[in-house]
Amino acid sequence: MIKNIKEISNPILRAVIAGIFLGSLVTIPAALAVELAKSPKDSNVESTSKLAVYASLASTAIGAAIGLGAGKRKDERDRLPDDTLGNDSVEVESSNNGWTDWRKFIVMRKVKESDGITSFYLHPEDNGAIPDFSPGQFLTLKLDIPGQLKPVIRTYSLSDYDLSAMNYRLSIKREAAPTNLNVLPGIASNFMHDSIQEDSIIWVKPPAGKFVLDVYSSKPAVLISNGVGITPMIAMAKAVVRFNPLRQIWFLHGARDGNAHAFRDEINALSASHSNLHVIYCYSRPTATDTGKYHQQGYVDSALIQNIVAPEMQKLCGSTEADYFLCGSPSFMDALRNGLREWGVPDRNVNFESFAKAMPKTTTPVRDLPTENTDSQEIVFSKSGKTLTWNPADGTLLDFAEANGLNPDYSCRAGVCGTCMCKISEGEVEYEEEPSASVDPGSVLICISKPKTARVVLDL
Ligand SMILES: Cc1cc2nc3c(=O)[nH]c(=O)nc-3n(C[C@H](O)[C@H](O)[C@H](O)COP(=O)(O)OP(=O)(O)OC[C@H]3O[C@@H](n4cnc5c(N)ncnc54)[C@H](O)[C@@H]3O)c2cc1C
Ligand code: FES
């Protein structure tokens, strides 16, 4: 019975049923006791009755409290990473409770975090459980934006790791138009800031992504971000301090100034209560009011890691071998990856995620795969009934499809999110860079691929 009560997901219902269950366990014997106590002495009956009523009330209250507590533990357990439950597998999409496609979520809270970044707390409209995720993963959103031909799909990292919460948190930066170009500002991010309010409903796909931190590793971790790249780092830092408090972590973050720096108080509070979390903030253009809020003026770079982090790490851990996690602007990550490589950090220890398209292609290039025909290839978009000739100047298959009037789904255009995945029924493609997203057998990511064989048939 207790096991069944634990399985009830609604906390109120769970508390009521547990209360009735424990209350009746005590009330029935108490009623019998009152019957047996009936004697010519009325005072005996009266005091036994009072005792029975108090015992029934107390047991009902205790039952309700146990019901709530049992549920909380279940909810937390539902959201723990698989490996905390004694399963060594790092399969990160294994416990989505049947949620595989779009699901409606309500925006419960909208909180301004800095000049450009706002957080959105999302709760499933069906009130069901939300699955666990690995720190570093993202959610995919589908937004109906007025003026757009079709729903706009974008991915956003989960920016919190609070197992007792019933919400996911995303933190989104408003993307301005580049100053040197006469183009529109970011479509989805501006829509989220301007038009999505508390109680708005948006479509969400389950947590995904391979930019994840192994919470239980004992190797020190260095989390390095700038701007909105801080989002996956918060989840990573929170997961480690919660589940692996002996692991040393350095949290290095770069911002323009104090107004642009999101989550400073949240990370400072985490660091103040966990001695294994070491924080360094660098402001590139601090203002007069920023004194005391940052540690260094300038950028987070490999010199900072060599001169400040490495000696501390050597002292605390007896080694400077660490796992590095980078997330930020393309130029920032490019500089750091090159700096770490020059310093001798092996590529296998450096994990990175780009939010923007212009990620340098420095790892595992697969450009030199032989192609059957480098001049022109036939592409069949089978659903649209179009057979077209592709030339190298046409770019990726996604660029080519768009240039020919097709409108495939995409988000990152960098092989990270999996949104552009499409079935291929004939031929092969070659990738410009190794995809970071999982690719289903018989499918390809068209945003980073070009035809490899003379004829390619895509389900578009
Ligand atoms: C795995 C992953 C996780 C992410 N996590 C986060 C996160 O936690 N928080 C976050 O804020 N973002 C995150 N992003 C980025 C996010 O998915 C979006 O890319 C971002 O919000 C911009 O989308 P948008 O629709 O607002 O901008 P878009 O409309 O896609 O435009 C992007 C930029 O291009 C400019 N632009 C428009 N047209 C042109 C043109 N013709 N030529 C040149 N430039 C042009 C726009 O002005 C804008 O600056 C993540 C991305 C990935 C891949
Ligand atoms: S659009 Fe993200 S993987 Fe292709």
Which superfamily does 103-208 belong to?
Translation factors (2.40.30.10)
* Residue 347 neighbours by CB distance under 10 Å: 13
Contact 278, 248 (CB under 8 A): yes
Give the model's pLDDT for residue 366: 38
CA–centroid distance, residue 138 to ligand 2 (Å) = 13
DSSP state of 82: G
**Ligand 2 proximity of 232 Cβ (cutoff 6 Å):** no
> What are the boundaries of each domain within the chain?
2-79, 103-208, 221-354, 377-458
**Ligand 2 proximity of 410 Cβ (cutoff 6 Å):** yes
Phi, psi of 390 (to 5 degrees): -100, 135
CA–centroid distance, residue 356 to ligand 1 (Å) = 6
The class of domain 377-458 in CATH terms is alpha beta
At the second CATH level, the architecture of 221-354 is 3-Layer(aba) Sandwich (3.40)
Relative to the CA of 420, which ligand 2 atom is closest? 4
**Ligand 2 proximity of 447 Cβ (cutoff 6 Å):** yes
Give the model's pLDDT for residue 163: 74
CA–centroid distance, residue 411 to ligand 2 (Å) = 5
Give the model's pLDDT for residue 374: 55
User: Minimal CA–CA distance to 410: which of 183, 171, 150, 147?
Assistant: 150
Element (H, E) at 65: helix 42-79
* Ligand 1 pocket mutation, candidates 184, 325, 352, 355, criterion most atoms within 8 A of CB: 355
* Least distant ligand from the CA of 173: 1
* Residue 183 neighbours by CB distance under 10 Å: 8
* C-alpha–C-alpha distance, residues 352 and 355, integer Å: 10
Residue-level pLDDT, tens digit, the chain, 460 residues: 443 444 444 444 445 555 565 566 666 666 666 565 565 445 555 665 666 566 666 666 665 555 554 444 334 333 333 333 333 333 334 457 789 899 999 999 999 999 999 999 999 999 999 999 999 999 999 999 999 989 999 999 999 998 778 899 999 999 999 998 999 999 999 999 999 999 999 999 999 999 999 999 999 999 999 999 999 999 999 999 999 999 999 999 999 999 999 999 999 999 999 999 999 999 999 999 999 999 999 999 999 999 999 999 999 999 999 999 999 999 999 999 999 999 999 999 999 998 876 433 333 333 434 444 456 899 999 999 999 999 999 999 999 999 999 999 999 999 999 999 999 999 999 999 889 888 999 999 999 999 999 999 999 9
Q: What is the pLDDT of residues 87-98, one digit of tens each?
A: 333 333 445 778
By the 10 Å C-beta count (0-12 exposed, 13-18 middle, 19+ buried), 70 is classed as buried
**Ligand 2 proximity of 418 Cβ (cutoff 6 Å):** yes
Q: What share of the chain is helix, strand, coil (3-state, %, to 5)?
A: 35, 25, 40
Give the model's pLDDT for residue 84: 35
Contact 142, 151 (CB under 8 A): yes
CA–centroid distance, residue 175 to ligand 1 (Å) = 7
CA–centroid distance, residue 190 to ligand 1 (Å) = 10
Relative to the CA of 416, which ligand 2 atom is closest? 3
Relative to the CA of 412, which ligand 1 atom is closest? 53
Give the model's pLDDT for residue 71: 43
Q: For the chain, first and last CA: distance in Å?
A: 52
* C-alpha–C-alpha distance, residues 207 and 186, integer Å: 23
Residue 4's identity, in one-letter code, is N
Relative to the CA of 398, which ligand 2 atom is closest? 4
User: Minimal CA–CA distance to 435: which of 201, 249, 211, 174?
Assistant: 211
Give the model's pLDDT for residue 83: 34
Give the model's pLDDT for residue 61: 65
CA–centroid distance, residue 185 to ligand 1 (Å) = 9
DSSP state of 158: B
Give the model's pLDDT for residue 356: 77
**Ligand 2 proximity of 417 Cβ (cutoff 6 Å):** yes
* Residues in contact with ligand 1 (CB, 6 Å cut-off): 138, 154-157, 171-173, 175, 177-178, 181, 183-190, 209, 228, 231, 353, 355, 411-412, 416-417
- Kindly state the tokens that stand for 215: 């919470």
